[in-house]
Amino acid sequence: MAKLFLDHLTQYFDVELFLFYVLTECDKRGGLTLWGYFSKEKESPDGNNIVCILTLFPYQRKVFEKFLIAFSYELSKKECAIGSPEKP
């Protein structure tokens, strides 16, 4: 999905190599609205905790980007791994 917005993003078709963490909202009728997501490699030789992060346009400039980044660091701590976002 992020490839639609970022021309410089490398696109992989083998999604089995990645974990995707999706942020959604559940509405009153039980439907889900996608706010954003981040992905990370299952096995990252470089120790990256985020490979790609995307917040959909209507939800940008709120707290969701910061939440997704903070969540990725909490996952790294739980895994006892020191991680940082992938460098472009």
- The catalytic site residues sit at 86
The SS3 assignment for 31 reads coil
Task: Give the per-residue SS3 of 17-54.
Answer: HEEEEEEEEECCCCCEEEEEEEEEECCCCCCEEECEEE
As given in the structure block, the two tokens for residue 70 are 């903070």
